[in-house]
Amino acid sequence: MAQKTVLIVYAHQSVGSFNEAALNVAMKELVKQGYKVIVSDLYAMNFRASTTQEDIIGDLKKPELFQYGEETMHAWLEGRLSDDILAEQQKVQEAELIIFQFPLYWFSVPAIMKGWMDRVLTQGFAFSLQKMYNNGIFKNKKAMLSFTTGATQTMFRPDGINGDINVTLWPLQNGTLHFCGFQVFAPQIFWSPAHCSPDMRTAMLDGWQARLKGLLEEKPLTFAPCELFDLSFEGGFMLCPKVKKEQESQPYGLTTGHHLGKPLPPDNQISAEASGDQN
């Protein structure tokens, strides 16, 4: 049986950071389990975040108006993407699981990691309108976010000053990862390690190591499947009327994003057990 591969896309500038410690724990534990672990250390690689014509080798299809998504799709089909993108796409192809390890910046990933997503997850390679969400290209792969926060956990509660962490994570977990088809594991959140005692930081890392022992057997988060929607331009890619009617009697919305004017389903983006059973 071929050795299974895990890709860790890592974004932190500093040696000795808590993020580096979390990365090292994951590498050590997964290698111990027999996985091949590939790390894309984006800062060390000096990975370019900006999406430009330099990502395309050869002539543009429409040089009069550069459209990055269209041009990179054609370049991918024709094998004309830049070498750094092709190298990362090869890692994605090889990996059964991708872990994104990073500090939360402005309620999202650092710019260098956003650039990785923008440049590597090109149309055709990672998604299309025919292959998205639960029918997506990477539906047989798994992905997850593992990140540190500056804020405490209470600050990211529904009644906390930063608002519900489930809302914060929806664009990344649904709009990027699940859109490409990934089965998304619940995130590993390290709450405010900079303001924790050394013992608490050690406990966080121990908890991460313990979780990694059974990570690949975890149930992924639940998202609304495409089958609930009218997937046509005429239907506007909207919830089917029958489904909408059925949801009227439910106490919560369908998902964090499809709340339907109701309370958000509790912990829809941070717990598989709490995310419902729509798949």
Domain 5-220 in CATH: superfamily?
Answer: Flavodoxin domain (3.40.50.360)
pLDDT at 2: 76
Whether pLDDT at 277 is above 50 = no
User: What's the rounded Cα separation, in Å, for the pair 56 and 68?
Assistant: 9
- Cβ–Cβ < 8 Å for 165, 269: yes
Reported as a single tens digit per residue, the pLDDT across 121-166 is: 999 999 998 999 999 999 999 999 999 999 999 999 999 999 999 9
What would the mean pLDDT of 49-76 be, rounded to a whole number? 96
Whether pLDDT at 231 is above 50 = yes
Residues of the chain with CATH 3.40.50.360: 5-220
Whether pLDDT at 208 is above 90 = yes
C-alpha angle 261/267/270, rounded to 5°?
A: 130
Size of the chain, expressed as the number of residues it contains:
279
Reported as a single tens digit per residue, the pLDDT across 163-195 is: 999 999 999 999 999 999 999 999 999 999 999
pLDDT at 3: 85
pLDDT at 273: 81
Relative to beta strand 97-103, strand 142-148 is parallel
Q: Which two tokens stand for residue 60?
A: 């543009």
H helices present in the chain, as ranges: 18-32, 42-45, 68-77, 83-94, 111-120, 165-172, 198-212, 241-247
Whether pLDDT at 279 is above 80 = no
* Residue 275 binned pLDDT confidence (cut-offs 50, 70, 90): low
Cβ burial 51-77 (10 Å sphere, 16+ → b, else e) = eeeebbeeeeeeeeeeebeebbbbbbe
pLDDT at 1: 63
Could you tell me what percent of the chain has a pLDDT over 90?
Answer: 94
